Amino acid sequence: LSAEYLARQDRWESNARTYPRHLPIALAEGYGSFVRDVDGNVFIDFLTGAGVLSLGHNHPALVRAVTEQLGHLTHGLDFPTPAKEAFLQAQLSMLPPGMRDRTKVHFCGPTGANAVEAAIKLCKVATGRGDVVSFQGGFHGSTHAAMALSGLLGPKQAVRNIMPGVHFFPFCSEGCDSDCASYLERSLRDSNGGVPLPAAVLLELVQGEGGVVPATVDFARRVREVTRSLGIPLVVDEVQTGCGRTGTWFAFEQYGIEPDVVVASKALSGIGTPVAVILYDAALDVWDPGTHIGTFRGNQLAFAAGVEAVRIVREEDILGNVRRRGEQIGERLAELAGEPRVREVRGRGLMWGVELADPATGRPDSALAAAVQTEALRHGLILELGGRDDCVVRLLPPLNVTAEVVDTACTILVAALAAATA
């Protein structure tokens, strides 16, 4: 049946499909860390709707919250509502205490990319400047400006006259032997550096689509220092890292920095009902709110689920589970480190990647990554790819995943790699 669904979808949707291209299944239903396809096959889902289903598929408490809200109000534009207020309070309560009082919230069209657009416009209006600094390997979405701001070239190359004034700088990760922060600082301070003082610096602290690449703590702190000293708002894109994915509510907490603007979306509701916000320093709040409006900013179902998701994360020590299960994945996948075609295994919290490279040339081995993904699917595990030429096999489990499921998934992944390299 999956094949028939895929064939029909192909006919109607042309080449718009991305995920099923590599994961040729049609989904019927999901529960917790598992998903069932239309043929009755059950898979462990370590893609979780691209990091959206933070509490797994159809978490009963979230389903209850959404169902109850359905009976009251579904769509509220930007009118105040009890659900919206509760959501707002829940989000603010998760911020470090020092940030809470000076933070404002702007509800965006319900995607990550839309919130990135809002963040950049906010900073452009507040600073009166037009350029933006972004980093190589970062991903910020597929709308026009968000794509222009993404470091991954990919389909961007075919889009002419994409937003100008974006300056890309190297992103410093573990093992990088260049002083990327000094280079950035010199370029920003030097009036001959060719980079006009930007409206914002946009940073993804753990690059997700870029292949699970965490920034070093030193790099992140120095980017914070230089942006602060030059009066450049620092925008941190937490669309993928946010809502507990890396073991703290936001990744920036682990880096010991406080951004001026935080972009959040994906897992805000925990169950896939779309919602996106920017949380920003009130000092930047000089824009006319009409600068970023949109019809779908009042999804009451997302608000109701999001309040419940925050409650569960708090009461069920989900962040503790993220750290423990993350360590477990690290320990289990350490056995891959000796494999000649595994360049690196890395992760933060429940965001992990296995980078594959040809040992002879050092080139990204995307064919092997695709083969591992296919092999894992055959044995009941859905994995994601990312990074340069899709050479990184990625794991994005639900944040409440159990030790048993992690163990089974790691066994499948290790066996899939062995089978694909045999």
Residue from 25, 55, 99, 113 in contact with ligand PMP (CB under 6 A): 113
Q: Does 265 bind ligand PMP (CB under 6 A)?
A: yes
Tell me the residue number closest to ligand PMP, measured at CB: 112
Cβ 358 to ligand PMP shortest distance, Å: 27
Cα(366)–Cα(326) distance, integer angstroms: 25
Cβ 371 to ligand PMP shortest distance, Å: 23
Cβ 140 to ligand PMP shortest distance, Å: 5
R_g of the chain computed on alpha carbons:
21
Residue from 32, 49, 56, 141 in contact with ligand PMP (CB under 6 A): 141
Residue from 30, 32, 112, 211 in contact with ligand PMP (CB under 6 A): 112
Cβ 45 to ligand PMP shortest distance, Å: 16
- The answer to whether residues 217 and 256 touch, using CB atoms and an 8 Å cutoff, is yes
Roughly what angle, to the nearest 10 degrees, separates helices 318-333 and 403-421? Answer: 30
Q: Does 273 bind ligand PMP (CB under 6 A)?
A: no
Nearest CB to ligand PMP, comparing residues 111 and 400: 111
Both tokens of 407, joined, read 């163990």
Q: Does 302 bind ligand PMP (CB under 6 A)?
A: no
Cβ 138 to ligand PMP shortest distance, Å: 7
Cα(304)–Cα(85) distance, integer angstroms: 10
Neighbours of 206 (CB within 10 A): 24
Nearest CB to ligand PMP, comparing residues 274 and 332: 274
Per CB under 6 A, contacts with ligand PMP among 165-204 are 204
Nearest CB to ligand PMP, comparing residues 240 and 300: 240
Q: What are the φ and ψ backbone dihedral angles of 21, each rounded to 5 degrees?
A: -60, -40
Residue from 23, 27, 50, 401 in contact with ligand PMP (CB under 6 A): 50
For residue 314, CA distances in Å to 2, 269, 279, 290, 309 come to 38, 14, 20, 35, 9
Cβ 279 to ligand PMP shortest distance, Å: 15
Cβ 294 to ligand PMP shortest distance, Å: 13
- The answer to whether residues 133 and 195 touch, using CB atoms and an 8 Å cutoff, is yes
Both tokens of 104, joined, read 């404002």
- The answer to whether residues 59 and 66 touch, using CB atoms and an 8 Å cutoff, is no
Stretch binding ligand PMP (CB under 6 A), from 25-33, 39-47, 112-120, 221-229: 112-120
> Burial code of 42-70, b = ≥16 C-beta within 10 A, e = fewer?
ebbbbbbbbbbbbbbbebebbeebbeebe
Q: Does 140 bind ligand PMP (CB under 6 A)?
A: yes
Amino acid at 153: L
Element (H or E) spanning 199, and its range?
A: none
Instruction: Select from 332, 322, 420 the least CA-distant residue to 376.
Output: 420
Q: Does 297 bind ligand PMP (CB under 6 A)?
A: no
Stretch binding ligand PMP (CB under 6 A), from 135-143, 163-171, 305-313, 331-339: 135-143
Strand partners, 262: 236, 279
Per CB under 6 A, contacts with ligand PMP among 199-258 are 204, 208-209, 237, 239-240
Nearest CB to ligand PMP, comparing residues 35 and 113: 113
Amino acid at 30: G
Contact positions vs ligand PMP (CB under 6 A)? 50, 111-113, 116, 139-141, 204, 208-209, 237, 239-240, 265
